[in-house]
Each structure stands twice: as C-alpha cells, then as structure tokens.
Amino acid sequence: MESSLQIELERMAKELGADLFGVADLTIAQDFVCKQGGEHLRKFSKAISTGIRLLDAVVDELYRHEDPAVIFTYNTLYNSVNSRLDHIALLLAKRIQEKGYQAYPIPASQIIDSSKLIGVISHKLAANLAGLGWIGKSCLLITPNYGPRVRFATILTDAPLKADSPISAKCGECRKCVDICPVKSFTGASFNPSEPREARFNAHLCRNYREKRKEKLGEGLCGLCVYVCPYGRSNKNLP
C-alpha cells in the first residue's frame, strides 16, 4: 500500500504541473546506476520519476524542422519543460528531506560525460522501472498515452516508497523512428538491458548532426524521432 508520503508527493508533483509520476525499485539496477553515476548513489534504493507532456501543436510541426521558427519554438518548449521539471524535483526532494529521508534530484537535462553523452542516471531507465513506459527502438522512453512526447526528471531517495512495476515494450514491427532519422542513428534493435546502448543507438551521430544544424540554423534540436512515433500522436493525418 502506498504511504501517505507517497500520496502527498504525487499530489504535489501533479499540482506543480507534472503529468506522470511513478516510483522505481533501483535495487535491481543498482550496479548499473553506480557504474554510471558513482558509488555515492548506492544508498538510494528508490527513484521517483516524474514527467511533463510536451505540447502536441509544437511537436506536430517538427517534420518542418528545417524552419527556424519551428525549431526555436520547440527549443523554448523543451527548455521551459526542463526548467519546470527541475523545480518540481527540488520541491519533492525538500519535502522528502523534511520527512527525515534523503533525496537527490537529478536535473532533467544534464550531461556529465561528454565522451559517452550520459547523465548521472538515465531518466529513461528510472521511468521504465517506475512503470511509466518502455524504452523504444528510438532509445526514447515511450509512454502508452503520450508516446515519447514527455520529458522526465528523477529524484533518488531512501524513503520507504512503494515501487511500481515495469511495463513491456510495445514497438512490435514498427520502425518509423529508425527510418526517419536523417543520420541513421538507430540500428532498429529492441531494448535489451544486457546490451550497451551502442547496440541500439549511436548518440554521436545524433549529436554531430545537431551540432551542424546549430551552426546552420542557430539551434540544434531535431526531434524527428519524437515527432514520428505513433504512440502519443493525436493527429493521425500528419505527414
């Protein structure tokens, strides 16, 4: 049964603008988490994953991502959502601390190793373990209702919260993200926790493409793999 603290944290997150909230049991992935983020994370047995849905009207225009107006609007949305997520993560962490437990908020968008292009912890892994979605062939977290049109923050904690259960992948035979990527970053392989990310995704191809776009357009986001996923698309008539 969920504790009163867990109910309070979910209510707080949603009142502050979150659309998704779940709790992950990190003990099953602790070695992986510590290898990436450091041994100091081992004391956290749970992770709260909270997400904010992006705006369809903005994501639906990303097929015109060569238009600076489209990509600057997406960039502003992306940064605003990340900033709100960091705010939510801070306030949830403060509340957990007031209750006598430790909480360690992980920013929504942060790279700690520029050669591997990874953060302190994978928000997608936390959201997956928290039952909010599966890791798709695009290596994005695909939620049943909003697809990949969601950004996430994570709060690591030792508070005694009740973990949710992961859900299985539902990409099936779809390859839309693999086919649309202009630099063929995805191999088309399904997520397998025993394989490294490189088996599915060449993050350097994606980053190099976005850096070239930044030189040309002044902003480097792409987002075609977010745009094209059939999950979360409310307008079925998009090109």
DSSP annotation of 109: S
Q: Is 232 in the site for ligand SF4 (CB under 6 A)?
A: no
CB nearer ligand SF4, residue 155 or residue 225? 225
Q: 218: phi > 0 → left, psi -120 to 50 → alpha, else beta; which?
A: left
Tokens found for residue 95:
């509340």
- Per CB under 6 A, the segment of 36-44, 71-79, 86-94, 219-227 that binds ligand SF4 is 219-227
Q: Is 58 in the site for ligand SF4 (CB under 6 A)?
A: no
CA distance 136 to 55: 20
CB nearer ligand SF4, residue 6 or residue 185? 185
What SS3 state is found at 152?
strand
Number of residues located near ligand SF4, criterion CB under 6 A: 24
CB nearer ligand SF4, residue 48 or residue 177? 177
Among 174, 187, 204, 233, binds ligand SF4 (CB under 6 A): 174
List all residues 6 or more positions away from 134 whose beta carbon is below 8 Å from its beta carbon. 128, 141, 142, 166, 167, 168, 169, 170, 171, 191
x/- mask, ligand SF4, residues 178-217, rule CB under 6 A, reads --xxxx-x--------------------x--x--------
Q: For the packed helices 68-98 and 203-217, what is the interaxial angle rounded to 10 degrees?
A: 120
From the CB of 119, what's the least distance to ligand SF4, in Å? 16
Q: Is 122 in the site for ligand SF4 (CB under 6 A)?
A: no
Among 136, 146, 154, 157, binds ligand SF4 (CB under 6 A): 136
Residue 1: HSE in the Cβ half-sphere, 13 Å Cα cutoff: 2
Nearest residue (beta carbon) to ligand SF4: 136
CA distance 11 to 118: 30
Interaction site with ligand SF4 (CB under 6 A): 136-138, 142, 171, 174-177, 180-183, 185, 206, 209, 222-225, 228-231
